[in-house]
Structure 1
Amino acid sequence: MTRASAHPTPSGRVVVENCAIATVDARDTEYASGHVVVHGNTIESVGPGPAPRDLQGVVRRVDGTGHLATPGLVNTHHHFYQWLTRGLATDHKLFDWLVALYPAWARIDERMAHAAARGSLAMMARGGVTTAVDHHYVFPRGAGDLSGAVIRAAAELGVRFTLARGSMDRGESDGGLPPDFAVETLDEALAATEATIDEHHDASFASMTRIAVAPCSPFSVSTELLRQGAELARRKGVRLHTHGSETVEEERYCRELFGMGPTDYLASAGWLGEDVWMAHCVHMNDSDVEVFARTGTGVAHCPSSNARLGAGIARVTDMLEAGIPVGLGVDGTASNEAGELHTELRNALLVSRLGPHRETALTTRQALRLGTYGGARVLGRHESIGSLEPGKLADLVLWKLDGLGHASIADPVAALVLGPAAPVTLSLVNGRPVVEDGRLRTADEDEIARSTRDEARRLARLARGD
């Protein structure tokens, strides 16, 4: 089903030239000085030197001197609602962190979800993200249309979006962590997920909104919800997403309850395949890596969140060598307060080099690929986004690298990945400017900041019972 975007497709040609270009195509083609021509919402040409002067229908020329052009960043895992609970439980491991924060999360409502989504998306967009995923799985009774609120926020800001419609059916009375009023029954979760797909999923090439089926995790949902969720996703032709192998406690839990590790347990419920991606995958043994590679199951690597919660170091180098699709994720901002994917390029490289592969773990170009084409592949969108190539959608970021923080680094990709956060001079999503000169074009950042502050305070009062 094709749905009209909140932002119409632009007409005419936009030319970006005189910039370094990292296309992130299959050959990692780069130009020290080149051009990109965008026609409507599509990349028309990419090449060295300036664009032809006789191009017809040019509505804008952008001089990219001192800049690097890359594909837009793709965030493969996030929890937008957590924007309202940043800076809490800062010294906790995962299970204790969840116990500390669920009393607040269980009281979110539609207004809060919309404000938090706007805050999360605004921060990411300002930092070069053009495609984002929100794994939303908390649906308190009487909270309103939370899925609709998040989808509306993404449309307002003009970011390409996948809602991973999550669910939990194991509350405290069933041995789960969230309060019972914040979980759904099996039938409620499946029916609401299917209704969200029917109302919002757009499978078209240039789609701005897609839906995935996303029960939360092996320790918060029943086996039946996993199994029937996978059946629903495949019947509807959408992707599947969940958390997997995040902590040693999760590994222990699965072995005690199911007699097998997380990968084998998820496989038994139908949760491996080219249409599946899992967040974290920190504690993977050689057998797990092999089965992910054999089945084409993707991974959302979240290095900052994993470090924040002390979860460990994912085997990203081994995964890439095995051929596993790997992208990057911010994760929720209650475990990654920065809320930016740009910083994950650097952190993915640095954290990986703390592991057994040390300085050979990841290169700067591999880090950039994780954040662009790798993420597009994980989401099943690599035919349309993730690299700068003719025929692909015009999701493009122009990074300013001639300022104090970057000008002395000769290699622009190294400057982007290893240097401080680079300012975004221009970000196009579907050919439309979303960020210019470091500021959002599609929303008022100051208004978003005020709204998220007010909603965070309201949520804190509700959680205290005020």
Structure 2
Amino acid sequence: MAKTTGIMAGWLIVSANEAKKGHGFVIENGKIVEIVPNEKLMGKEGVIDAREHIVCPTFACTHTHMYETIAHGAVEPNLSLKPLLEDFWWPVVENRQTLETIRITSEYASLEHLKTGVTLINDILEAPFAEAGKRLLTEEKVLRKAGIKGVLSLESNERISTENGEVNLKENQDFILAMRETGSRDIRGTICTHTTFSCSVPFLMKAAGMARDMDEYIQIHMNEGPDEDKCCFDQYGMTTAELYKKIGFWEGGKAWANQCSCMEPVELNIMGTLGVGISTQPRSNALCNAGIAPVSDMLKNGINVGLGTDNGEGNFFENMRYLALMQMGKNYTKYALTPLQAFEIATEMGPKGLGFTDVGALRPGYSADFQILTGSAAIYLREENVVQEVFWRKEPEDIKEVYVNGELVARDGRAIHLDETRIRQEFKDCVRDFWKGQPYQLAD
């Protein structure tokens, strides 16, 4: 395959707030080095001709669980988060994960991510009884082959035992070091723990201390619905964020919180002041009885917000629209979260909050991570509306090609480096076998 040296675009979306007609860019060593008029690229070897198309940044899914795709066909109990975890998810799903299910679901989720223009993921693996030391490396191998960038971590808590939680923390630590030895930041690890109701304060402090010592991110699940804040207040007499502040959990400046669908104003103020980023999952939160995150208030507090799916798959264009529309409805104004803001969250703001400073836009110095979309539109495209056209009307079917670091990784909805036929059959068989005989399986 010829090396890509640049692209000519009909419309080039540089970022949520900048679009150029008839421009493209030059690529060197996987990076964008210059934005130029198409005329300067004509006839150059390795230049893609996308002058009939829209070229825009790829998406970042800032919170997902690839293994959760195995929940296909399961009927979850209608419970709030804490009892749902205790009665169903922990014993029936998490505890039964193996290296084989991790591999198969990671491959399937990679197909689904590329199909919808996602090339960076922040994945939390929850598999406390799968073989220690190999869990994150299994996911990493799949992402490397697919060409997807990622932040990978293993959820570490004390719901089984303190010893089990510490084993998981150690695997995060070892994975961080192993990824640093590769010399690339395309895939890296974080220290990851869970919640204030599944971890003691000493355990949380130990996890945060490990992250600070390694100058790496600490990430958690937080306030996914009202259960955690209530549990935290009942036990400690304060909100979740107030407890984290009191114990110094977020000291160090590298922190990420996932979910945050039920937040008190004081919590957003604390997190904005301490520089804690947040990933919101609007579709998943609605499906899990967890409410609607106050994203517009997060932005007002200066918080870097990212967009996730939670379940390892999903139409990311649709997810962006859910994000904006739910904020409009929640706040009774269509200006609560504009399409441009939602697009920025889905492309550049989320990665920035996770420490990726060269992902999510198509500026000089950024990685050449881009998608080529059909250029057809029902309206007359201008610089002022082309991003909104992508936001409101494009779908995964409109993606012609996807590139990471200037390398083609997907075309017409199919991954270039993965055996899609094998993976989809293995996944189907895996789901059938995993749920066979379980009371939560839909009848045939």
Tell me the TM-score normalised to structure 1 length.
Answer: 0.86
Give the drift of 1:307: 1.0
Match of 1:413 among 374, 378, 387: 387
The 8 Å contact of residues 18 and 64 in structure 1, kept in 2 or not, is answered as yes
CA distance in 2, matches of 1:238, 1:328: 21
Match of 2:259 among 267, 280, 301: 280
Say which SS state the counterpart of residue 246 (structure 1) adopts: coil
Match of 2:307 among 328, 331, 354: 328
CA distance in 1, matches of 2:337, 2:93: 38
Distance 1:54-1:425 versus aligned 2 partners, 3 A rule: closer
Give the drift of 1:49: 4.2
The 8 Å contact of residues 169 and 192 in structure 2, kept in 1 or not, is answered as no
Could you say which residue in structure 1 is the equivalent of 2:69?
83
Matched AA of 2:80: K
1:7-22 equivalences in 2 (<5 Å): 12-22=3-13
Matched, 1:23 2:14: yes
Matched, 1:260 2:233: no
CA distance in 2, matches of 1:43, 1:420: 25
Matched, 1:69 2:58: no
Matched AA of 1:368: F
Could you say which residue in structure 1 is the equivalent of 2:325?
350
Give the drift of 1:291: 1.3
The 8 Å contact of residues 139 and 146 in structure 1, kept in 2 or not, is answered as no
Matched AA of 2:402: S
Q: Which moved more, 1:339-348 or 1:142-151?
A: 142-151
Matched, 1:429 2:404: yes
Matched AA of 2:273: R
Residues matched between the structures, number: 432
Matched AA of 2:69: W
1:61-460 equivalences in 2 (<5 Å): 61-65=48-52, 67-90=53-76, 91-98=78-85, 99-102=87-90, 103-140=92-129, 142=131, 145-171=134-160, 184-201=163-180, 206-272=184-250, 274-333=253-312, 338-382=313-357, 384-402=358-376, 406-408=377-379, 410=381, 411-422=385-396, 423-460=398-435
Give the drift of 1:152: 1.1
Say which SS state the counterpart of residue 64 (structure 2) adopts: coil
Say which SS state the counterpart of residue 23 (structure 1) adopts: strand
Structure 1 residues 7-40: Cα deviation after superposition (integer angstroms, max 9, x where no partner) = xxx9854332132122117xx2211332122223
Distance 1:142-1:202 versus aligned 2 partners, 3 A rule: closer
CA distance in 2, matches of 1:161, 1:452: 21
CA distance in 1, matches of 2:159, 2:118: 33
Matched AA of 1:146: R
Say which SS state the counterpart of residue 69 (structure 1) adopts: strand
Give the drift of 1:415: 2.4
CA distance in 2, matches of 1:60, 1:317: 40
Matched AA of 2:294: R
Give the drift of 1:221: 2.1
Tell me the TM-score normalised to structure 2 length.
Answer: 0.90
The 8 Å contact of residues 22 and 70 in structure 1, kept in 2 or not, is answered as yes
Give the drift of 1:462: 8.0
CA distance in 1, matches of 2:247, 2:64: 24
The 8 Å contact of residues 109 and 143 in structure 1, kept in 2 or not, is answered as no
Say which SS state the counterpart of residue 354 (structure 1) adopts: helix
Give the drift of 1:419: 2.0
Could you say which residue in structure 2 is the equivalent of 1:6?
none
Distance 1:420-1:168 versus aligned 2 partners, 3 A rule: same
Distance 1:219-1:394 versus aligned 2 partners, 3 A rule: same
The 8 Å contact of residues 145 and 417 in structure 2, kept in 1 or not, is answered as yes
Say which SS state the counterpart of residue 389 (structure 2) adopts: helix
Distance 1:463-1:240 versus aligned 2 partners, 3 A rule: farther
CA distance in 1, matches of 2:428, 2:155: 25
Q: CA RMSD in A?
A: 2.4
Structure 1 residues 152-207: Cα deviation after superposition (integer angstroms, max 9, x where no partner) = 11111110111023212123xxxxxxxx7xx8534323333222222234685x52
Distance 1:184-1:78 versus aligned 2 partners, 3 A rule: farther
The 8 Å contact of residues 11 and 39 in structure 1, kept in 2 or not, is answered as no
Unaligned 5+ runs, structure 1: 1-9, 172-179
Distance 1:123-1:184 versus aligned 2 partners, 3 A rule: farther
CA distance in 2, matches of 1:38, 1:286: 44
Give the drift of 1:401: 4.1
Q: Which moved more, 1:304-313 or 1:184-193?
A: 184-193
Distance 1:142-1:128 versus aligned 2 partners, 3 A rule: closer
Could you say which residue in structure 2 is the equivalent of 1:4?
none
CA distance in 2, matches of 1:269, 1:117: 35
Distance 1:60-1:297 versus aligned 2 partners, 3 A rule: same
Distance 1:164-1:269 versus aligned 2 partners, 3 A rule: farther
Structure 1 residues 397-423: Cα deviation after superposition (integer angstroms, max 9, x where no partner) = 112242xxx544743322221225242
The 8 Å contact of residues 169 and 191 in structure 2, kept in 1 or not, is answered as no
Matched AA of 1:93: S
Structure 1 residues 330-363: Cα deviation after superposition (integer angstroms, max 9, x where no partner) = 1125xxxx53433221111111111125211111
Q: Which moved more, 1:384-393 or 1:143-152?
A: 143-152
The 8 Å contact of residues 108 and 459 in structure 1, kept in 2 or not, is answered as no
CA distance in 1, matches of 2:163, 2:101: 19
Q: Which moved more, 1:133-142 or 1:114-123?
A: 133-142
Structure 1 residues 385-438: Cα deviation after superposition (integer angstroms, max 9, x where no partner) = 121111211111112242xxx544743322221225242111111111111122
Give the drift of 1:322: 2.2
The 8 Å contact of residues 296 and 336 in structure 2, kept in 1 or not, is answered as yes
Give the drift of 1:105: 2.4
CA distance in 2, matches of 1:166, 1:312: 23
Unaligned 5+ runs, structure 2: 440-444
Give the drift of 1:249: 1.4
The 8 Å contact of residues 242 and 270 in structure 2, kept in 1 or not, is answered as no
